[in-house]
Amino acid sequence: MADTTTPIRQVRAAAATRIGTSLDEYDAKITSGQKWCTKCKAWLPRSEFAKDRSRGDGLKSNCNSHYVRTTPGPTKSERRQRALLGQRWCRGCKVWLPASQVNRDGACRPCAAAEARAYYAGPAGEQIKALKNARKRGLDPIPPWWREAQFANFNGLCAYGCGAPAEVIDHVWPVARGGQSTPGNLVPACADCNGKKRDRNPTPWVKQGLTLRPGPWQDLVALALEHNTDNWLEEIING
């Protein structure tokens, strides 16, 4: 009977049990230069497995027939060979170009510009624009999660009760009057209400919202009182 008392033998015994074979047969296969493929469920020559330094035997657990490259483009070997010729791979064009035309990130100038336009046209670009706009107006930027939460609280509709879909986040107490991007002073609004309200006294819009959308507005009032950002409430109460 094979010795299974040492830690290494214990590991090998557990591996043999896992694939349904004896320890002696497992050791015989390993000694003959074979390795068990966890996908094929069969013993194959070690040459059929790619290198993986993170594993004990230095090889992947699956044979090459199951290995799918996750990195698009040429292999490292191809890149080294092309580098000797003064060429680099452009991930956008998917062609070899003179090394001077491809930046360190692996894209030529036209492709890098196209990627930047696509990036700034998405959610990240909207966030950057909002940050720039906030800095320009001397305000704290509005976190994306807060915007989403406020849109959800008002079911995606304008907080001022007009029934139109909300499109922007509006400062209840206008920035021109000292309003800030603080809890209790931000609501979703449609472009029409936002444009008409502008820097005017918000009392008529708020009263309309309180009348037609009492639930979310009551939550907003509580939030404003909690964070001491209720200057617009004082104006309504005294107005």
Least confident of 38-42, 65-69, 152-156, 157-161: 65-69
**What percent of the chain clears pLDDT 70, i.e. is strictly above it?**
81
Instruction: Quote the pTM value.
Output: 0.43
Mean pLDDT of the chain: 82
Residues of the chain with CATH 1.10.30: 139-238
Tell me the fold of 139-238.
DNA Binding (I), subunit A (1.10.30)
What would the pLDDT profile of 137-185 be if each residue is shown by its tens digit?
666 667 777 788 888 889 999 999 999 999 988 988 888 777 787 778 8
The confidence score (pLDDT) of residue 230 equals 61
Alpha helices (runs of H) in the chain, residue ranges in sequence order: 7-19, 23-31, 76-84, 109-121, 123-136, 144-153, 191-197, 203-212, 214-226, 231-238
In angstroms, rounded to a whole number, what is the distance separating the alpha carbons of residues 45 and 225?
72
Least confident of 16-25, 123-132, 208-217: 123-132
